[in-house]
Amino acid sequence: MDSRAVDLAARVRLLRGAAPGRRVIVAIAGIPGSGKTTLAAALVARLNADTPPPTHAIAVPMDGFHLSKATLSASTDPPRFHARRGAPFTFDPTALLTLLRRIRYDAPHETIPAPAFSHATGDPVAAAIHIAPHHRVVVVEGLYLLADVAPWCHIRPLCDLCYWLDVDLATARERVVVRHVDAGLASTRVDAEKRWELNDELNALWVLKHSVR
């Protein structure tokens, strides 16, 4: 298992001991291709392996807060919004903040619904994730969780532990290009490289400029 997940799990256990009456929120952030989803999954697996069933950790990807394709089409500049999907202005940070506040402040015996993202339809799915009372640790991962620009900057204070994933741009680029081809988002490597240059790289540079690490 990723040594970072092992280290993070140990830190989370300490936080759980210091705040036994509420859920703990962990935020994992980084540029596209930094490995956020992989690390979040490894951390959740490690935490759940350390405790008897039912599971006590759950992942909530920020992808569930993408604006729908219909919303992008109804925007002031539909071609730009669709082409730049994944940029800060194509998410709903207000809804994400509402969810995080519920996780942090609502009674821990309540089940809290959260959205997920369907790669089959290319749209978010409301209430696809259920944060149950036995989920004491919520691991959120996404590009803009540590951004210093409003309203994103209000996320960090709601989190108990924030982790920045470092990766060089060349490595991130290769991972994203391969992912685009494998996922069918680009038919050729050349097309995938163009997607990186016209969108993913711009988002990566924005994240590097505006994230508090």
Instruction: Say how far apart CA 158 and CA 138 lie, in whole Å.
Output: 12
Task: Report yes or no: 44 and 113 within 8 Å, Cβ to Cβ.
Answer: no
Strands 112-118, 123-131: parallel, antiparallel or unpaired by DSSP?
Answer: antiparallel
In a domain, 208, yes or no: no
The residues, ordered by sequence, that sit 6+ positions from 99 with a Cβ below 8 Å of its Cβ are 60, 112, 114
In a domain, 81, yes or no: yes
pLDDT at 1: 58
In a domain, 205, yes or no: no
In a domain, 197, yes or no: no
Q: At what angle do helices 36-49 and 3-18 cross, to 10 degrees?
A: 60
Instruction: Dump the DSSP string for 61-98.
Output: EGGGGBPPHHHHHTSSSHHHHHHTBTBGGGB-HHHHHH
Q: How many domains, the chain?
A: 1
Tokens of 56: 């006590």
pLDDT in 10s for each residue of the chain, 213 residues: 589 999 999 999 999 988 888 999 999 999 999 999 999 999 999 999 988 888 899 999 999 999 999 999 999 999 999 999 999 999 999 999 999 999 999 988 999 999 999 999 999 999 999 999 999 999 999 999 999 999 999 999 999 999 999 999 999 999 999 999 999 999 999 999 999 999 999 999 999 999 998
Instruction: Say how far apart CA 105 and CA 99 lie, in whole Å.
Output: 10
The CATH code of the domain that includes 65 is 3.40.50.300
pLDDT at 36: 98
In a domain, 200, yes or no: no
In a domain, 110, yes or no: yes
16: left (phi over 0), alpha (psi -120 to 50) or beta: alpha
Placement of tokens 């830190």 in the chain: 11
The domain in which residue 14 lies consists of 3-167
Closest CA to 66 of 120, 117, 127, 128: 117
User: How many residues are listed for the chain in this entry?
Assistant: 213
